[in-house]
Structure 1
Amino acid sequence: MKKRTFIKLSSALMTAPVFSPLTDWLADDKLKNWAGNYEYSTDKLYPAKSTGQVQEIVKKYSKLKVLGTRHCFNSIADSPHNFISVRPMDQVVALDTNARTVTVDAGMSYGQLCPYLESKGFALHNLASLPHISIAGACATATHGSGVRNGNLATSVSALEIVTANGDVVKLSREKDGETFRGAVVNLGALGVITHVTLDVQPTFRMRQDVYENLPIAQLKDNFEAIMSSGYSVSLFTDWQKNRVNEVWIKRRVAKGVTLTAKPEFYGARLATRNLHPIAELSAENCTEQMGVPGPWYERLPHFRMGFTPSSGKELQSEYFVPRQNAVEAILAVERLRDQISPHLLISELRTIDADNLWMSTCYKQPSLAIHFTWKQDWPAVRQVLPLIEKELAPFKFRPHWGKLFTMSPSLLQSRYEKLTDFKQLVKQYDPQGKFRNDFLQTNLYS
């Protein structure tokens, strides 16, 4: 979005009447996602500044979708009818220091919440690569972060407030609502409008980040678990060429009074002598501090700094989750496609995520390896490559990231989720007329 449009949109969110769409403000720019690869099907966007306003908008329209920070690469959030935005709802509602929870408005981003928590002596268990994404949207799509013992971001959710299709406010909690709650957290935007989210927090902690270059891919065959367990959060970046992983990012917690060091060599990789971008040719200016310098958890867990926009787009993303027990086989299967992949690839990232019990999570009952692809923005070419990758990963019963690009058939996708029937019953209970159902949900869950 152009700078002038952003300023106009921000002003509109503050002053527009509750039922006035922001169409006029967006006339000089089509409404697109963050990367610019997806153009939404309507520009009728209604901002809400309170749960009450959300209820009014939901009651007024027969078809509606929530549009958040627009970091999805596919049509999961699209609508040809109307959008509602809760971005103006971006405040901390309550911090319960005894229960160790924080309740926030659904429009708040992790970048907004983290400095607040740090100032109060608390932290979240994990963060995604980008801190710019909304909390509600990240949890609704099972966006994850990394760590062999760290669940995805949705696993920290302990309560939700949802405005359902008829305008009712429903409150669910892990403590009181059991299976219904576990079905609602990763909701894919199908249940209603999330207005408040309660997250588990823990005492704040400090971290350091060390990067190694050129890890022989052969080392993964014998030492995968040791490599991925070498830090609180570990990421491997590779272009699939030269039989090596380009960069290993190791993020470690630093206990008070304890000094950690980094060995010059790590399974054949060499310690970097400067800050690096995941794509080595690019400047590391926007990346979080490396070189073993300790800092707050929220300035080390993401790959990109809070105060910077990490990209203006010009990329596509896909991501596939496989059982961690098949991680090495899956990596080697993709590596066999290196010559088909490389012409269209910017970089790949390999991360581990722990299992959870959230019905529609990509890690439901499955400790996972996530194989992520950041592509050049050439969808016709990428669309030809994805089926090749999916064919190689088929023996491992992969699950694609809900908000990224994939080509697998709906029937195969549905077979990956044993609680899908229960989830559709939950959707029917909260949205019996399909107010929040769009083409993405119709195709992938119901066809």
Structure 2
Amino acid sequence: MDPEAHKGFRKYTGDAISTLSWDADTGTHIPFRASVSHKHRTWAKTHFSNPELFLRPQSEKEIRLIVNLARQCGKTIVVVGSGHSPNDLTCTSSWMVNLDGFNSVVFENCRELQLEVEAGIRLHQLADELEKRGWAMPNLGSITAQSIAGAIATNTHGSSLRHGTLSQAIVSLTIMLSSGESLRCSATENEDLYHAALVSLGGLGIITHIVFQAVPAFNLAWKQEVVMTPQILDAWKTDLWTRSEFIRVWWFPYSGRSILWSADKTEEPLRERPHSWYGGGLGRFSYELALYFSTWLPWLTPIVERYVFSLQYRWEVGPSGSAVQKSHEALTMDCLFPQLVNEWAIPLEKGPEAIQRLQTWLDGDKGDKSGIPFSPKGIYVHAPIEVRVADTTLQAKKPWLDQSCQTGPTLYLNATLYRPFLRNPPEWERYYNAFEWLMKDLGGRPHWAKNFISTSKEEFWGMYPKMKDWVELRNTVDPHRMFANDWLKKNLLKDEEDTEITQIKERLKKL
């Protein structure tokens, strides 16, 4: 055991570690890798916490030891990977488990192109392992910093109507429950737990192993072009989202323009992506500094955004860059600097209405045309607003808490606000309240990992027909409430007293 951890651990368990950590197979003690002085922060530095213990297991036996000890001590466990989610889902004052050291390939099935991996493996590590075998991930989000377990726990998606979310590629998974028991789950084995765990929010147990379905490696030829935003809206119902396998749009409200990015598989030789103005050190620093000044003088924001747009892309309508890259390189992007992120899923057909109403409101409308009952005065947003799509109706494996639309394609609208030098832009909460009001009005649901601020527990229960099933299953597999973290209690889990009252009411209705 780490000497530092031993000192902090004894106050909980005394000498229990000596008994519980003994491995009869090897005749040695199982390592207990922990520290008592870890300070956790999200990637965007939006939330911080100081866990009592920060644990870094490197084997399944070590994970089981942690679970058994936490149960004995009455501690809550939160599993954290990169902390890239900007909300407080990964924060805790209890025990925090990081699986970065539990990230190896366990087994490969070359015939089926399947790879079993330990759940702490980061997506970029998984992409490298697949590339060694001539394989690739069929779909990706915008970054590869997350662990595979974290990416599916919050329902990461890409941007393609030919794909669903990342969970579409999960053949099976193994989850360790609060009892210390490990269960393997798939579409044919422990099905309910499988569908619940595909978007687990860390609330069911610790996912330890994942069998991933790969595809043959492929390159993508992509291009981006400057398009007037009205043209985007005109093409919405024709071929905008079907002209290529991967499509995404960055909408710049102050310029009247959008960037349309499209990519398809190709046999062409690799060709590097074009120079990025704000991808270089000087451009990045200049952009962040200009945004920082705009937090003190908000009216500068549109000027900054239009100027940076012209430097990064060019002002004239037409092509603004292309490349041929390996799939995982082409589909990812530079997030630049810390940011608040508020992303919602709405029906794809409601996209033009959403963009037009939000644009009208940002232009100064007080609700007469947009219907948004918040004042836009003094609100200046950072660009771009990201527009992406997916179609989870293609998935045979449907997570119970999938925020995507269940009857058709989904539009994901992402309102990003940069935090230049860690300073929040003024009036960001009013902007997000207005944005979320519009998204709810259009039948939307928030991305679990983002900075939603106005959705209540009751609203979440109304949004998800399977919420009751998910919570009941969660309570069944975790009777010790070891994985009922603070975030779940705040957003989803009803108080035990409320649950008892509800059960009594349901029994009275049956009489």
Q: Which bin holds the TM-score, normalised by the shorter protein?
A: 0.7 to 0.9
Paired position in structure 2 for 1:376: 418
TM-score where L is the length of structure 2:
0.73
- Among 121, 130, 135, the residue aligned to 1:122: 135
Q: Does 1:239 align with 2:278?
A: no
Q: Equivalent residue for 2:57?
A: 48
Other structure's SS at 1:175 match = coil
What is residue 134 of structure 1 aligned with on the other side?
A: 147
Gap change, CA 1:276 and 1:350, over 3 Å in 2: farther
Between stretches 418-427 and 92-101, larger displacement belongs to 92-101
The 2-side partners of 1:144 and 1:337 are apart by 28
Corresponding residue to 1:354 among 382, 386, 391: 391
CA distance in 2 between partners of 1:205 and 1:342 (Å)? 43
With over 3 angstroms needed to count, the CA separation of the structure-2 counterparts of 1:364 and 1:180, relative to structure 1, is farther
SS, match of residue 345 in structure 1: coil
Alignment of 1:280-295 (within 5 A): 281=308, 291-295=321-325
Q: Secondary structure at the match of 2:402?
A: coil
SS at match of 1:424: helix
The gaps in structure 2 that reach 5 residues or longer are: 1-29, 280-304, 313-319, 364-375, 495-511
1:346 is displaced (CA, Å) by: 4.3
1:347–1:221 CA distance, 2 compared to 1 (3 A): closer
Amino acid at match of 1:296: K
- The match for 1:76 is 89
Length-normalised TM-score, structure 1: 0.83
2:207 maps to a residue whose letter is I
- Work out which of the residue numbers 326, 339, 342 in structure 2 matches 1:315: 339
Q: Give the whole-Å Cα distance in 2 for the aligned partners of 1:431 and 1:238.
A: 43
Letter of the 1:399 partner, please give it: R
Aligned residue number for residue 472 of structure 2 = 425
Distance in 2 separating the partners of 1:379 and 1:65: 30
Equivalent-residue separation in structure 1 for 2:172 and 2:82 (angstroms): 21
- Once the two structures are TM-superposed, the CA of residue 34 in structure 1 deviates from its matched residue by 0.8
1:367 to 409, 421, 424: 409
Contact preservation (8 Å) 1:334, 1:393: no
Question: What is the rounded CA distance, in whole Å, between the counterparts of 2:196 and 2:352 in structure 1?
Answer: 31
> Take 2:169 and 2:328, find their aligned partners in 1: how far apart are those partners?
15
- State the 1:45 CA deviation: 0.7
Separation (CA, whole Å) in 2 of partners of 1:277 and 1:414: 42
Please tell me whether residue 324 in structure 1 is matched to residue 324 in structure 2.
no
Partners of 1:358 and 1:364 within 8 A in 2: no
C-alpha separation between the residues in 2 aligned to 1:221 and 1:33?
A: 35
Q: Supply the AA of the counterpart residue of 2:43.
A: W
* 1:222 maps to 2:222: no
Q: Residues 275 and 234 of structure 1: is their aligned pair in 2 closer, same or farther, counting only changes over 3 Å? A: farther
The CA distance in 2 between the partners of 1:222 and 1:346, in whole Å, is 21
- Aligned to 1:69, the other structure's residue is in SS state coil
Cα distance, 1:97 vs structure 2: 1.5
Q: Which residue of 2 aligns with 1:38?
A: 47
Q: Go from structure 1 to structure 2 and tell me whether the alpha carbon gap of 1:430 and 1:379 turns closer, same or farther (over 3 Å shift).
A: farther
Asked whether the equivalents of residues 239 and 342 of structure 1 are also in contact (C-alpha less than 8 Å), the reply is: no
Range moving further from structure 2, 129-138 or 365-374: 365-374
Match of 1:445?
A: 492
The residue aligned with 2:462 is 415
1:371 counterpart letter in structure 2:
L
Task: Note the alpha carbon deviations across 1:309-346, whole angstroms, 9 max, x for none.
Answer: x54x4311110110112122122222223254962424
Number of aligned residue pairs: 402
Partner of 1:265: none
Equivalents in 1 of 2:399, 2:150: separation in Å? 15
Amino acid of the residue matched to residue 45 of structure 1? F
Q: Do the aligned residues in 1 keep the contact of 2:55 with 2:96 (CA within 8 Å)?
A: yes
Say which one has the larger Rg: 2
Quickly say closer, same or farther: Cα 1:388–1:300, change in 2 above 3 A.
Answer: same
Give the corresponding residue for 1:397: 443
Q: For 1:251-290, list aligned pairs within 5 A.
A: 251-254=263-266, 256=267, 275=276, 281=308
Identify if the C-alpha distance between structure 1 residues 276 and 422 changes in structure 2 by more than 3 Å, giving closer, same or farther. Answer: farther
Contact 2:400 2:466 in 1 (8 A): yes
Q: Which residue of 2 aligns with 1:307?
A: none
Structure with the larger helix share: 2
Superposition RMSD in Å? 2.6
Work out the CA distance in 2 between the residues paired with 1:160 and 1:334: 40
Q: Go from structure 1 to structure 2 and tell me whether the alpha carbon gap of 1:221 and 1:344 turns closer, same or farther (over 3 Å shift).
A: closer
Identity %: 24
Which position in structure 2 is the counterpart of 1:59?
A: 68
**Structure 2 Cα separation of the partners of residues 412 and 103 of structure 1:** 37
Structure 2 residue aligned with 1:300: 330
Deviations 1:150-184 (A, max 9, x none): 11111111111111111111110123343432222
Distance 1:430 1:193 in 2: 12
| Cα deviation, residue 208, structure 1 | 1.2
Q: Secondary structure at the match of 1:87?
A: coil
Q: List per-residue Cα deviations over 1:263-286 (Å, max 9, x = no partner).
A: xxxxxxxxx9855669883998xx
Q: Which residue of 2 is the match for residue 198 of structure 1?
A: 211
| Cα distance change, pair 142–388 in 1 and its aligned pair in 2 (3 A) | same
The answer on whether the counterparts of 1:105 and 1:197 sit within 8 Å (CA) in structure 2 is: yes
- Opposite residue 222 of structure 1, the aligned amino acid is D
Counterpart-to-counterpart distance in 2, 1:80 and 1:396: 37
CA distance in 1, matches of 2:61, 2:275: 51
Equivalent position to 1:435, from 476, 479, 482: 482
Aligned equivalents of 2:415, 2:492: Cα separation in 1: 24
Partner residue of 1:14? none
Question: Aligned equivalents of 1:149 and 1:351: distance in 2?
Answer: 12
